[in-house]
Amino acid sequence: ADLEVTHWWTSGGEAAAVGELAKAFDARTDHHWVDGAIAGSGSTARPIMISRITGGDPMAATQFNHGRQAEELVEAGLMRDLTDIAEAGKWREVINPPSLLDACTVDGKVYCAPLNIHSWQWLWLSHKAYADAGVPVPTNWDEFVAAAPALEAAGIVPMAMGKQGWQQSGAFNVMMISLLPKEIFLQVYGDKDADVAAGADVARIFKAAADARAMASNSNVQDWNQATNLVITGKAGGQIMGDWAQGEFQVAEMTAGEDYTCLPGLGVNRTLQAGGDAFYFPVLKDAETTAAQGELAALLLDPEVQVAFNLKKGSLPVRGDVDLAAANDCMKKGLDILATGDAIPDFNQLVSSDTRVQIEDLFVEFFADASMTPEAAQERFAAIIADAD
Amino acid sequence: MSSERPNGLFRNIPAKVAAIPMIITALVVFMGGSLWTMAYSLTKSKLLPKWKFVGLDQYERLWSTKRWVVSIENLFIYGVCMLIASFVIGFILAALMDQKIRFENTFRTIILYPFALSFIVTGLVWQWILNPEFGIQSIIRGLGFTSFEFDPLYNADIAIYGILIAGLWQGTGLIMVLMLAGLRGIDQEIWKAAKVDGIPTWKTYLFIVIPMMRPVFITTLVLVAASIVKVYDLIVAQTGGGPGISTEMPAKYVYDYMFGGQNLGQGFAASTMMLLAVLVVVIPWAYLEFGGKKRG
Amino acid sequence: MADTAVHPAASSEPRGPKPRKKLSRNNIIIYGTLLVVAFYYLLPLYVMVVTSLKGMPEIRLGNIFSPPVEITFEPWVKAWSQACTGLNCDGLSRGFWNSIRITVPSVIVSIVIASVNGYALANWKFKGADAFFTILIFGAFIPYQVMLYPIVIMLREIGLYGTLWGLVIVHTIFGMPILTLLFRNYFTSLPEELFKAARVDGAGFWRIYFQIMLPMSLPIFVVAMILQVTGIWNDFLFGVVYTKPDLYPMTVQLNNIVNSVQGVKEYNVNMAATLLTGLVPLVIYFVSGKLFVRGIAAGAVKG
Amino acid sequence: MESSISIRDLSLSFGAVKVLRNLNIEIGQGEFLVLLGSSGCGKSTLLNCIAGLLDVTDGQIFIQGKNVTWAEPSDRGIGMVFQSYALYPQMTVEGNLSFGLKNAGMAKDEIKKRVARAAEILQIEPLLKRKPAALSGGQRQRVAIGRALVRDVDVFLFDEPLSNLDAKLRADLRVEIKRLHQRLKNTMIYVTHDQVEALTLADRIAIMKGGNIQQLASPNEIYNKPANKYVADFIGSPSMNFLEGVIDISGAPQFNSDVMSFDISGYEFVDGPTGGPAWFGIRPEHIVTGELLANAPVQFDAEVELVEPMGSDTLVWAKVEGVPMHFRMDGQAEVRSGDQMRIGFDPARANIFNKETELRI
Amino acid sequence: MESSISIRDLSLSFGAVKVLRNLNIEIGQGEFLVLLGSSGCGKSTLLNCIAGLLDVTDGQIFIQGKNVTWAEPSDRGIGMVFQSYALYPQMTVEGNLSFGLKNAGMAKDEIKKRVARAAEILQIEPLLKRKPAALSGGQRQRVAIGRALVRDVDVFLFDEPLSNLDAKLRADLRVEIKRLHQRLKNTMIYVTHDQVEALTLADRIAIMKGGNIQQLASPNEIYNKPANKYVADFIGSPSMNFLEGVIDISGAPQFNSDVMSFDISGYEFVDGPTGGPAWFGIRPEHIVTGELLANAPVQFDAEVELVEPMGSDTLVWAKVEGVPMHFRMDGQAEVRSGDQMRIGFDPARANIFNKETELRI
Ligand SMILES: Nc1ncnc2c1ncn2[C@@H]1O[C@H](COP(=O)(O)OP(=O)(O)OP(=O)(O)O)[C@@H](O)[C@H]1O
Ligand SMILES: Nc1ncnc2c1ncn2[C@@H]1O[C@H](COP(=O)(O)OP(=O)(O)OP(=O)(O)O)[C@@H](O)[C@H]1O
Ligand SMILES: [Mg+2]
Ligand SMILES: [Mg+2]
């Protein structure tokens, strides 16, 4: 049968990675992958997918971010229960970290197939920039902040940062995980503890965010890859960005450790968040396509497919038992951390989209408006957390 | 039979039948959709509409959200500027076109063509031209004016005007055509009378012609106002609401919360506020159009 | 004659047409302004064209205004037939026919319905007609995003969700307010006596519409056609929300090409894609621009 | 005589505005009725009601004895000719003529025959293949009449059919319409605000004002015995001279004003001599000069103020004891402003109206 | 007499279309000149040239002795009144009157004085605060005249100022304009296609056709001695009767047609008796009946075809030996179609035109 699969992976590497899935699916089953890609990231694609599902004419499978995005669709009975397939594939055993599968589980039933792991907690540094400014390449966040005046004096932007909410709130969360004990993060976002959010620890992070804001004040770009490009060309010292930035350095043919440095956990806490993408399978009426759905779900967790996909995508496989020899330096650092088990659930798994958007809005404002004090921002932050569900 | 006054309902049956699509659209889609939206704005629907009544909570939150307030402010600034600028520019262009110029067709086409392009395109191109790194600013700096500053999209205080530049680029053509049509509809003898009276051309436009074009202005106003309230694509394509929240708009708020934030209730509350605002515009219009004077 | 004596210098005095300087102050102002305006309007087009003809290395050099050193049609080819949307690497060509398949019926249906509406409102006023019309105009202001969900539900209920005809209905609905306004104003401006004469001649609603009104309405149909082709061809949201991938219009590919956030932006391909997508409406504008203005003048605006 | 059209208690309002008030008219078979009145008095509205193009608010309309109050326009047996011609611009003359017949589902031959006959009557045979845009004003008007003609209707309705034409053509077509009526003998209702048309065409004229009928009578009666001052003033060009004063019937009836006073015993009062404040009206052509003064019992000295030569006649505006008066003289008359002359009239030809009610007394 | 306006060799073309061809007109101080002609003959175009609203193709225009060929409209000392009134709709009457003056930078008192004077002359004082929409047609036209009046110009130009009004109002305003001219004594040029207006208002009439002037003469001369057949036919309503035939001057001048033949020795030929094919024209009012036949050297028997009562007169359309003829009778005349009657005329009052050149002979 023809299976229509929607996703928002449209850039070169992503498309190639999806291609691996399609290739495997077409080759190993009797079915055919019909591609329904929609560019413009989740915010463009998600309403379309939801409309399709609620409109009663769903696709056979669709990508969502790991987390709570599809929660209600599941509750409304629009998503297919994959529990038997998960059990058959022993997902509970092979998926690492297990929190990924937890995110797919509602009332003990599995509703999605995790595909990959992305982590946010990376600081990317340009060797050229620091050389130009005549200071050594920092090895942790504090050094990074301390080096800022020297860079500025040399006409270099200390920190590159795109002007979009998800980048800014992402950076903030990275600082919270990396500069504080990870419990605080879990208390704030997991338990929605407004007191902690208003507390002194988080206040430090807001100070750090203010530092970041000052350092990034001359970074006149919108998109994250444009910001990365500033680092690559040495126009900026560093950038907080997820592991997908790695791809940009690769395209620019730069070598980790030589031309650039990646510091997981900002060089402080070696803790990674395990988020990523997952596939959901809407309930279909047609038996044949339903069967095909099952085969696709099983296929996604297949070790070979995992390797092929993640190598192209630049992300980490969700199985702890696959061999990623071809991975590069930074990726290996990540794998190491995951292997030591120091991973916490993704932001998207902890908070609802509503809260996420509110937090993004807050940081968009905070980073754009230098007159907004960290205290004021924290106050609003705490209020959002208090209201969050 | 025909001596009895027939039931009004059954007169002109074909006209009523033909109007069914319109009636359905008006009642079911526009009215029904609006009422449905208003009703669900009183719930805490998230991803899917669910009847979990929460009263005015969503509105409370809406009006305490800075982004919404800023969006309203932005819409107001953008709307006022757009209305004034597009009317003024559209009118001036139309007046220029009306001077029996040569190459009128060429100029008109040049001014009108952006209207044929989608906002995705408009946003992208202008984002580019206004980019300080390689757009106009860099060109002028390249010419030696190194202190020249022109980066509307990167300066929160004036970003909204950067949007305006692109919006005007796309929209004034149609307005120009509407105004031109209006100008061409003015009795030529009025012009002659003004000339004999020795009234300079600009004064004739200002004091005589413009007041005579009221009906054209009303039609144009409906068109422009409708496009202003709905402005969304342009923002998304050009700034995505940034820098900061300096170019956020209500329609984008609605969309972001309904689909990005997966908080339908909040999105519906924002929608409802917009619909109410629209009523404030449409009711006076309907009054002007249908009130008082009746046509045979 | 006596007069000759009164005006001895008559022959040397002004005679014939008033001499006009080619470069009068007025003309300088008029044409100067127009040229500046034309520059402003043409600049983006120029940038698009120039960029679309450059190679990527040249674009990285920076100046977006400089003409291409080396003209290449590569980006156009790529945009048309090679750019990828997910796995499908056949560029805009994939959506082109879909766009046509969507645009043609949508334009026809929406114009037919709106013109009949306008005609009914102008000539066959029935009780409540004004109220419905006011609601329609209200509809013109409703942001599309607001209606996205209710319409999903409605289409689902009538079983047209995900079909071409569902999309046609959506375009018809959202085109209806403005088009109905235009048609109503136009038909109102036609002499009422014509309508009366036809009624006395025994023609009914439809016959008057087809045999009397339609043949007189070319200008306004051109206006409506241009507005609708532009709107529907450029539509992205409805096309993608209310249909399936095998029906996605060209703008979806355009969006995919332009909005692929990750990876390097191929500006030249973006521009070529942009131009290619805009080509159909642009051509229609260039071809029927004159009729457009005439149509608007003929009654789109009430004078 | 059997009525062709009978209008009973007809009222029509647009919203709150009463345009027609309780009209009653009986129109005889083959009669030519002209509705005359100034702009906005409701003439077109009445015609549209008869045609069925407007729904009446109250009352009934009968055509050829049938109650057609609620019938469709095309079922009433009427044809209508409009001021703006209202030809279908995209059809040829032939198409225009046959449109109504085709709608009625008539056979092709019959249509052809009828069109040919109408074209012959109106002498537009050579134009049949042309479109209206290629016709002159007069030709268009003829085609418009033809459109009613082919339908072989009982009643023709004309709404100011000539007022878009220039004076000369108007005069010619007026005669044509009159000839047509003589030939066809249909009932015709003709709306105009041109009194010359009304007087020359009508069998009877209905003078309307503010939705009421002021007088419905033959042209001769309307002209010579207007029922009230409005009609008297409205009909006749140049209009009637009016003198304000009081009728004294203490002796022989006498008209007294501030500046003059004369005997009116020759006047035929409607209900015998009646006294009181009154308007004394005399038509310009009933004021005589020169030799004809012999027959004028009332005479004055007048000072000429203004002379309007009109080719065939000359119109003189003069003052009599400070009261303005105008009268007609021969086209060759040699008068100049400032001249003094003697004028006179016969009160038997006058019209006298009560000051208050403005009705003829 | 010193010329107020003099037009020399004026030509005007729109592209390839020649609308005016080499016109020469001298208009005297205080003269009232009417341009008369059918639609499209170039009357408005000529007026616009004089006003400076159109750039002439060739020739010169002098106003009050000054060459104004290239002057701005407002500098020519002219005021213009338009058919559509062309009032500024959003200004009050006062605003309409004063706008031009304000614009010329005139002192406030002076403006007030002039507006007051114009309002008084035109009797529109009570309307000063109203907007044009709240005025009747006649009032609007007066305001339009007022706009020219306040500017104290030497020359008034009128472009069919009355043709949008109904017949009655037209007649009234015509008189008003005439009075205004008598009072102000300005030069006036007045465009119309209504011959009654032309005849009553003009000191001289210029009859235009196809951009040429056919005849420029006093109304009396135009009416009684038309220069060619076009003018003869154009002027006079109902129009002149024409008989086609041949003049025989072998003996006493004689007119012969297929069906009739009569002596015309009473006729005054322009250059002495001239023979050859000709049109014989006689005005309807010069055809007499009844007692007056005594003075009619030429007499026929006529059969009445159609009678048009017009109140003050009656128009009779008849056939004489199969040739149609129409003539005027008294308003009270009792004639019916089908009647036989004797009619006659005096050839001295006739107009004869060469068949070929159509010029008067
Ligand atoms: N549809 C309408 N709604 C409201 N009032 C109307 C309508 N049609 C006509 N009237 C009013 O009714 C009155 C009579 O109009 P009608 O057209 O019958 O006048 P008329 O006598 O034909 O005038 P004219 O000579 O100008 O044609 C006018 O005062 C007019 O304003
Ligand atoms: N702007 C123009 N371009 C081309 N031809 C024109 C223009 N204006 C007028 N004409 C032509 O010039 C001729 C004379 O026009 P003009 O308006 O002077 O006629 P008119 O005598 O005033 O007629 P009317 O009595 O209808 O007002 C007409 O044939 C007209 O078609
Ligand atoms: Mg009327
Ligand atoms: Mg004219």
DSSP D256-311: E-SS-EEE-TTS--BTB---EEEEEEE-GGG-B-GGGGGG-SEEEEEEEEEEEE-S
Q: Which two tokens stand for residue B279?
A: 């009523």
E44: CA distance to ligand 2 center in Å? 7
- Is residue B33 included in any domain, yes or no? no
Strands of D38-95, DSSP E? 58-63, 66-67, 78-81
Has residue B215 been placed in a domain?
Answer: yes
Mean pLDDT over the full length of chain D: 89
pLDDT-based confidence at residue D61 (cuts at 50, 70, 90): very high
Taking the Cβ of residue D64 and every Cβ of chain B, the question of whether any pair is shorter than 8 Å is answered with no
User: Which residues from E are below 8 Å from B196, CB to CB?
Assistant: 51, 53, 73-74, 78-80, 100, 148
Q: Is residue C39 part of a domain?
A: yes
Task: Mutate one of A46, A52, A222, A359 to test the B interface: name it (highest B CB count within 10 A).
Answer: A222
Q: Do C202 and D73 touch (CB under 8 A)?
A: yes
Ligand 1: nearest atom to the Cα of D37: 21
pLDDT of residue D216: 93
- For residue E231, the CA-to-ligand 4 centroid distance in Å is 19
What's residue C301's pLDDT? 55
pLDDT of residue A67: 64
In eight-state DSSP terms, residue A256 is B
CA distance A55 to C162: 8
Strand locations in chain E, DSSP E? 3-14, 17-28, 32-36, 58-63, 66-67, 78-81, 155-159, 187-192, 204-209, 212-217, 241-248, 254-256, 261-263, 276-282, 287-289, 298-309, 313-320, 323-330, 340-345, 351-354
E194 contact residues in D (CB cutoff 8 A)? 167
Q: What was the pLDDT predicted at C4?
A: 41
Q: What is the mean pLDDT of chain C?
A: 82
Provide the residue range defining the domain that includes C67: 25-72
CA distance C208 to C123: 10
The CATH number of the domain where C160 resides is what? 1.10.3720.10
Query: How confident is the model over D267-271, as a mean pLDDT?
Result: 88
Q: Is the domain of C113 the same as that of C61?
A: no
**CB pair distance less than 8 Å for D70 and B294:** no
pTM for this predicted structure: 0.86
pLDDT of residue B294: 41
Q: What pLDDT shows up at residue C9? A: 45
Cβ distance A161 to A368 under 8 Å?
Answer: no
DSSP state of E53: S
pLDDT at B77: 92
Least distant ligand from the CA of E206: 2
pLDDT at C8: 43
Q: What confidence tens digit (pLDDT) does each residue in A372-386 have?
A: 888 888 888 888 888
Query: Chains B/A: 3 or more C-beta pairs closer than 8 A?
Result: yes
Q: How many CB atoms lie within 10 A of CB A335?
A: 17
- Does the beta-carbon distance from C201 to D100 stay under 8 Å? yes
Q: Is E17 in the pocket of ligand 2 (CB under 6 A)?
A: yes
- The answer to whether residue D51 neighbours chain C at the CB level (below 8 Å) is yes
Mean pLDDT of E253-266: 88
pLDDT at position C260: 64
Q: Whose CA is nearest to atom 24 of ligand 2?
A: E39
| Cβ atoms of A36 and C94 closer than 8 Å | no
C215 and C66 in a common domain? no
pLDDT at A102 (0 to 100): 82
Residue having the nearest C-alpha atom to atom 2 of ligand 1: B296
What are the residues facing D188 on neighbouring strands? D32, D156
Query: Which domain-ending residue is among C15, C40, C72?
Result: C72
pLDDT of res. D116 = 92
Q: List the single residue in D with minimal CA-CA distance to B292.
A: D15
CA of D45 to the centre of ligand 1 (A): 6
C86 within domain boundaries: no
Mean pLDDT of E333-355: 90
Q: Comparing C-alpha atoms, which of A206, A367, A43 is closest to residue B156?
A: A367
**Domains contained in chain E, CATH given:** 3-233 (3.40.50.300), 234-354 (2.40.50.140)
- Is there a cis peptide before residue B132, judged by omega within 30 degrees of 0? no
Identify the residue whose C-alpha is closest to ligand 1 atom 28.
D40
How distant is the Cα of C90 from the closest Cα of chain B, in angstroms? 21
How confident is the model at residue E157, as a pLDDT?
Answer: 92
To probe the interface with C, which of A52, A167, A312 has the most C CB atoms within 10 Å?
A52
Residues C42 and C131 placed together within one structural domain of the fold = no
**How many angstroms does the Cα of residue C195 sit away from the middle of ligand 4?**
30
CB D317 within 8 A of CB D326: yes
Domain of residue B104 covers: 57-295
Distance CA A204, CA A363 (A): 16
Interface of C with B in 83-112 (CB under 8 A): none
What pLDDT does D236 receive?
85
Confidence of residue B188 (pLDDT cuts 50, 70, 90): confident
CATH number of the CATH domain containing B115: 1.10.3720.10
Q: Which residue numbers in chain A have pLDDT < 50?
A: none
Backbone φ/ψ region at C193: left (φ over 0), alpha (ψ -120 to 50), beta: alpha
List the one residue out of A137, A212, A147, A131 whose CA is nearest residue A178: A212
* Residues present in chain A in total: 389
Which residue owns the Cα nearest ligand 1 atom 30? Answer: D40
Q: Which of B36, B108, B295 sits opposite C289 (nearest CB)?
A: B108
Q: Do C59 and C178 share a domain, yes or no? A: no
Is there a domain that residue C12 lies in? no
User: Which among E159, E162, E166 has a CA at the least distance from the CA of E176?
Assistant: E162
Q: What is the pLDDT at residue E61?
A: 92
Mutate to test the interface with A, among B262, B263, B266 (most CBs of A within 10 A): B262
Contact between residue D312 and residue D328 where contact means Cβ atoms under 8 Å apart? no
Best of E286, E312, E330, E351 to mutate (most D CBs within 10 Å, chain D):
E312
**Of E168, E148, E165, E164, nearest to E156 (Cα)?**
E148
Q: What is the pLDDT of residues B76-113, one digit of tens each?
A: 999 999 999 999 999 999 998 888 888 888 888 888 88
CB spacing of B3 vs D67 below 8 angstroms: yes
How many Å lie between the centroid of ligand 4 and the Cα of residue E48? 10
Task: Report whether pLDDT(E229) > 50.
Answer: yes
Flag whether pLDDT at C3 surpasses 70. Answer: no
D48 lines ligand 1 (CB under 6 A): no
Inside any domain, residue C303: no
C216 lies in a domain? yes
pLDDT (average), residues D164-176: 81
State which ligand 2 atom lies nearest to the alpha carbon of E42.
18
What pLDDT is stored for residue E247 in this prediction?
92
CB contact under 8 A, D236 and E167: no
Asked which of A96-100, A287-291, D133-137, E354-358 is least confident by mean pLDDT, the reply is A96-100
Same domain, C144 and C214: yes
Chains touching E (at least 3 CB pairs under 8 A) are B, C, D
Say yes or no: CB of residue D206 within 6 Å of ligand 1: no
Residues E353 and E361: beta-carbon distance below 8 Å: yes
Would B27 be classed as within a structural domain? no
- Which residue of chain E has the CA closest to C7? E65
Confidence label for D287 from pLDDT (cuts 50, 70 and 90): very high
Average pLDDT score over residue span D320-335? 87
Residue scoring higher pLDDT (C303 or A46): A46
Which of residues E318 and A268 earns the better pLDDT score? E318
More confident residue, C57 or A302: A302
Q: In the predicted model, is pLDDT for residue C300 greater than 70?
A: no
Q: Are residues C61 and C30 in the same domain?
A: yes
Residue D246 contacts B, CB cutoff 8 Å = no
Contact residues, chain C to chain E, C-beta under 8 Å: 3, 6-7, 10, 13-19
Q: How many domains, in total, are found in chain B?
A: 1
Closest CA to C245 of E148, E108, B102, A48: A48
Tell me the CA–centroid distance for residue B294 and ligand 2, in Å. 35
In sequence order, what DSSP letters do the residues of D138-178 get, joined into one string? Answer: HHHHHHHHHHHHTTT-SEEEEESTTTTS-HHHHHHHHHHHH
Residue B233 has pLDDT above 50, yes or no: yes
| CB under 5 Å of ion ligand 4: residues | E 44
Q: Does C68 share its domain with C97?
A: no
Contact (Cβ atoms closer than 8 angstroms) between residue A282 and residue A58: yes
Per-residue confidence at C303, pLDDT binned at 50, 70, 90? Answer: very low
* E83 ligand 2 Cβ < 6 A: no
Are C100 and C52 contained in the same domain? Answer: no
What per-residue confidence (pLDDT) applies to D217? 93
Q: Cβ separation of A368 and B156 shorter than 8 Å? A: yes
Same-domain check for residues C118 and C41: no
Percent of chain D whose pLDDT exceeds 90:
36
Count of structural domains, chain C? 2
Whether C46 and C163 map to the same domain: the answer is no
pLDDT recorded at residue E274: 86
Q: What is the ipTM of this complex?
A: 0.85
In this complex, whether E and D touch, counting 3 or more CB pairs under 8 angstroms, is yes
**Chain C residues with beta carbon closer than 8 angstroms to that of D84:** 191, 193
User: In chain E, which residues have their Cβ closer than 8 Å to the Cβ of B187?
Assistant: 84, 86
Rounded to an integer, the average pLDDT of E129-150 is 88
